[in-house]
Amino acid sequence: MILVVLALVIIIYQATKAFLDPLKAIPGPFWARFTRAWYLRKVWHGDFEKTNIALHEKYGTHPVDTAPQADCCGPIVRIAPGQYSLKDPESLKTIYGHGTSFTKGPWYAASGSADPNTHDLFTDRDAKRHGDNRKKVARLYSMTSLLDYEHHVTELTKKMVAKFKDLASVGSDSDLGIDMQHWLQCFAFDMIGLITVGAPFGYIDRPEDSHTMFSALHAYLFYSANVGVYAEFHSFLSRFTALVNGSGMSYMLGFTQTQIAKHETHNEKAPAASQVNTSTSTDFLTKLLQIKQEQPRKISDEDVFGACLTNIGAGSDTTSISLSGILYWLIINPRAHQRLTFASFHVQLQKELDEKAAKGEISSPITFLEAQSLPYLQACIKEGLRLHPATGLPLSRVVPKGGATLCKWFVPEGTIVGVNTWVMHRNKVVFGDDADDFVPERWLEDPERASHMDRFFMTFGLGSRTCIGKNISLMEISKLVPELIRYFDFRLAKPNEKLETQNVWFVKQKNFRCVVSLRKE
């Protein structure tokens, strides 16, 4: 009887709240008016990026006539009580621009520590504290440091090319092909090891050993994406997941601590003159320890651990998904696009690379600087990142005190709003009627148009919360993609099979299998 009464009270409360909601005229799924359970169910299903796009298409073509701003219902839809997804390009600067008062939504809490005294760059919702902590490590991601890391990327790119030559020579020309996403994650994870602690994790050599770590990363992301919808339960639920041996976050914590310990052991054995010396060592951890040595009151052991954990936890999935997205779109047959006359996108890119190589204008492996001078390569990279950005949930923000006007609606303070990168990147007002298609030329035909589209390109986030490792990821992409395209031909193992993905915050490819063969001279 008590449970029945409690249920009735909750139902009446939610119904009354929905009826009195000043934004009740904004459309959305029926159950999303009353409970976050609708949103959780869709996130759990693993394809919310598609659901999100479909919501805007559905409610954009059928506006609510009773709404005072009926002509603007398409750009804003409800996904939960007090939570809205936006498609409006002009809202980006308001929500995510530098100096904005919008703060990260409660969803992010489930991706971090349940300890209220522990903060990291990704999940910290306090703008000032985030800014202060970001300044501590910002120089490690600067262009100067980036060039210091490049020899690591060159080294591993050579190794990856050699591995693919082995795979091609032993006959990947089978119905199954190779799991491209897995191999690219092995590359990205080894790379983050080289850059962060000065040593690869060995997954290119032993890809089968990666499954424990990759499974732990996946478990962490699945937990974060789903528990984030009801983030108030994170503190409670995290206690149980911590007890599970080898669970997502606990495994990542242990793995990171082990890598730092290995680094420290190596330094202890090294000559004293080379210890913690950025002139002789160029990995992230060595540089970070140098900063700690210079500013012991500003950089703590917790800061060192947190920065390394962020690199290791976020540095492989995002880059491997981006690499996979770019290569997938380069490989598929573009004959449906009448404006394109060449056989495939990667053939067009091969032509650009071959011409530059013949003139001696690019190295092997290509340098990051040389890669920036190749317009078609950069257009392909940008277009791949546009069509398959790593993140697939709205980047939620809390409307600040005093409220804000978004899509012509006055949105009260405390409301949660967000733009999903997948939704914005398929906005036809910004990217054209062919926004669903892979057309690298859109970035090359008109500099003014390219600059305009760039304002709404949000693969790495926007404003002060832009991914701090953006340039490292772009360097890896800019060096590996051209090397693979120069030396290999790719075709999908099952060209008629639709690409499958799973959205656990990052939208990971599941069946991206390719047949790899050496290019014929």
With left for phi above 0 and alpha for psi between -120 and 50, is residue 427 left, alpha or beta?
Answer: beta
Angle at 223 between CA 221 and CA 224, to 5 degrees: 65
> Coil, helix or strand for 398?
strand
Q: Please check if 467 is assigned to a binding site.
A: yes
Instruction: Report which DSSP code applies to 275.
Output: T
Under the phi-then-psi rule, with left for phi > 0, alpha for psi from -120 to 50, and beta for the rest, what region is 464?
A: alpha
Going by C-alpha positions, the residue among 317, 325, 302, 303 that lies closest to residue 225 is 317
**The token pair that represents 348 in the structure block:** 């067009």
Q: How many residues can be counted in the chain?
A: 521
* C-alpha 19: how far from chain center: 37
d(Cα 384, Cα 378) in Å, to the nearest integer?
10
Rounded Cα distance between 48 and 12, Å, is: 29
Spacing of C-alpha 260 from chain mean position: 25
How far, in Å, CA of 124 to CA of 131, rounded? 10
Beta-carbon neighbour count of residue 332 at 10 Å?
18
- Residue 499 contacts residue 511 (beta carbons within 8 Å): yes
Structural tokens at position 184 = 């690219």
H-helix or E-strand spanning residue 76: strand 76-80
201 vs 391: CA distance, rounded Å: 25
Say if CB 465 and CB 294 are below 8 A apart.
no
Give the residue numbers of the binding site for heme. Answer: 467
Give the residue numbers of the binding site. Answer: 467
